[in-house]
């Protein structure tokens, strides 16, 4: 003979495990209602009216207690002290954070091959050639190449850092319109390229480059 219904704890009443989540509790409550509510075929004639009412009020109480976080915690505490259930690890499950689709490692270790941007800026301000080029009203691919070699960076370095394909960088430097990516992409590529070189006023410079390149020769 098993325990009477009113001797069961709320988890046993609803047939759920002590670590059930609210979704499971609601589901179990609905299932219990299907069993015990008046007019249910399952329990037809099984209980007298009084018994049915008693059971339904117990089920209701069980649900109200377990669905509320605070009252559930209190109830769990009494069950634990009675030794009916074991203490649960209370730490809330880790909330899911958005996962980056492209897992690009930009940690410091990956950057060691490059000269730090401070050092680049230093070099730029010291180099006469670069200041001259930047002073011009036009900025061609050739100029970009010159700045790059002056700074001692290779195309591969740039490609690694900006994730722009090597042949795209090459076409930017060669300034051949037919080999270049479409203008929408080109603009973005040039900006990242300039940024990678450690130049300031990237917007203005990229606009200057775009004007130079698109002008018919």
- Report the run of H or E that residue 194 belongs to, with start and end: helix 183-197
Q: Does 140 bind another protein (CB under 8 A)?
A: no
Judged by CB under 8 A, the stretch of 40-48, 57-65, 77-85, 172-180 that binds another protein is: 40-48
Q: Are 165 and 159 in contact (CB under 8 A)?
A: yes
- Label residue 201 left, alpha or beta by phi (over 0 means left) and psi (-120 to 50 means alpha): left
Site for another protein in 9-28 (CB under 8 A): 15
Q: Does 215 bind another protein (CB under 8 A)?
A: no
Distance CA 125, CA 137 (A): 18
Q: Binding of another protein at residue 2 (CB under 8 A)?
A: yes
**3-class DSSP state of 134:** helix
Asked whether position 34 contacts another protein by CB under 8 A, the answer is: yes
d(CA 104, CA 120): 23
Q: Can residue 46 be called a binding residue for another protein (CB under 8 A)?
A: yes
The reply to whether 50 sits near another protein by the rule CB under 8 A is no
Which backbone phi and psi does 57 adopt, to 5 degrees? -70, -35
Binding test (CB under 8 A) with another protein, winner from 20, 33, 35, 80 = 35
> CB of 10: closest distance to another protein in angstroms?
14
Say whether residue 5 binds another protein (CB under 8 A): yes
* Binding site residues, another protein, CB under 8 A: 1-2, 4-5, 15, 34-35, 41-46
């Amino acid at each position: 003979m098993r325990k009477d219904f009113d001797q069961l704890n709320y988890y046993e009443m609803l047939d759920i495990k002590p670590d059930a989540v609210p979704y499971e509790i609601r589901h179990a409550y609905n299932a219990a209602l299907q069993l015990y509510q008046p007019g249910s075929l399952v329990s037809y004639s099984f209980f007298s009216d009084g018994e049915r009412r008693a059971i339904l009020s117990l089920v209701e109480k069980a649900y109200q207690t377990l669905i509320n976080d605070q009252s559930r915690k209190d109830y769990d505490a009494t069950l634990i002290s009675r030794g009916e259930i074991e203490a649960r690890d209370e730490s809330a499950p880790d909330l899911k954070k958005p996962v980056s689709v492209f897992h690009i490692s930009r940690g410091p270790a990956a950057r060691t091959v490059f000269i730090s941007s401070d050092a680049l800026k230093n070099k730029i301000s010291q180099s006469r050639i670069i200041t001259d080029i930047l002073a011009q009203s036009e900025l061609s691919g050739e100029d970009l190449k010159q700045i790059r070699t002056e700074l001692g960076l290779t195309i591969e370095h740039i490609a690694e850092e900006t994730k722009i394909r090597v042949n795209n960088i090459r076409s930017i430097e060669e300034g051949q319109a037919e080999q270049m990516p479409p203008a929408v992409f080109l603009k973005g590529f040039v900006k990242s390229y300039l940024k990678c070189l450690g130049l300031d006023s990237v917007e203005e410079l990229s606009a200057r480059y775009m004007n130079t390149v698109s002008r018919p020769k």
